[in-house]
A = this chain, B = another copy of it.
Amino acid sequence: MSRTDWNRPAPGQYRLRPGFRRIAMTVAYDGRDFCGWQTQDGQRTVQETLEQCLKDLTGLTLNVVGSGRTDSKVHAMGQVCHFDLPCESAIPAEAFAKALIVPPDITIRSSWEADASFHSRFSAMAREYRYFIRDRRDFTCMERGLATAVKNLPDVKLMNSYAACLKGTHDFSAFAAAGDLSESKCRDIYESEVFSCDSPYGGPVQVFRICGNAFLYRQVRSMVGTMLCLARDNAPAEQFAAILESKDRSRALDTARPDGLYLWRVSFDPDEYGWFEEAPDGN
């Protein structure tokens, strides 16, 4: 099995220290008014906001660790994070989801007592992202910042033919933003598809759904932007595959706006996906 979690430290390094409990939470957030997940000086971020809410509740300065960083304006339906609480604090783990007073653009969906070996980032087996695309004619202020509007929705079959190229283990250098610092650009993609569903506001929402072990910095937005560009020209899937295989960043086309991107779900279940029996790249 491959399960290539690049840059994952030895479990001893992130194991819970004695005298502490580890609490995990699933969090949704509307990214429009956040400068992303990670704490940055002078910016409103989800991590810093949650740490402040936890301080208000417990009186303690706690470090909240997320499964993945999301960029400015990117949303989450199922970000998972954890923090370590001294055992003296007897607050039941499940109470955090109810008792934590968060701003209206955050929802704590659940909270639970995690194992000592659990780590929201390093135990994560897969991350699912979704990207919402809407026809400009159906798009109003109700969805502003929650989807990307395009002049004409691309053909779902064509988009699916691009999405299919991403499955498997690939070197995603072509879709790595300049800021990506990871040594290896190889990632495992378990599922990749485009489907259409109805919007309660009228017209279809086209959804790109991708699950993989991990993603490079801005990889999903770069892939979506390139797919949308190619679809406008009705380009065949081979052209998308050629860009991916080139491993050449200059071959990628647009980077899609953060508006339509959601960190949808994080899976900690090693049996959930069809893991690769043999890592194709020898890892």
A-side interface residues toward B, CB under 8 Å? 28-30, 75, 77, 104-107, 109, 132, 140-142, 144-146, 197-202, 205, 207
Contacts and interface: CB of A to CB of B under 8 A. Distances in A.
A142 B28 contact: yes
Nearest to A104: B144
A73 to B, nearest CB: 13
Nearest to A102: B141
Contacts of A146: 142
A185 to B, nearest CB: 31
**List of 8 A-B pairs having minimum Cβ-Cβ separation, nearest first:** A28-B140, A107-B140, A107-B141, A200-B205, A30-B141, A105-B141, A197-B198, A104-B144
Contact of A200 (B29, B106, B132, B141): B132
A4 to B, nearest CB: 29
Given A29-B141, A104-B144, 13 more contacts: A28-B140, A28-B141, A30-B142, A75-B142, A77-B201, A104-B141, A105-B144, A197-B198, A197-B200, A198-B198, A199-B200, A200-B205, A200-B207
B106 A141 contact: yes
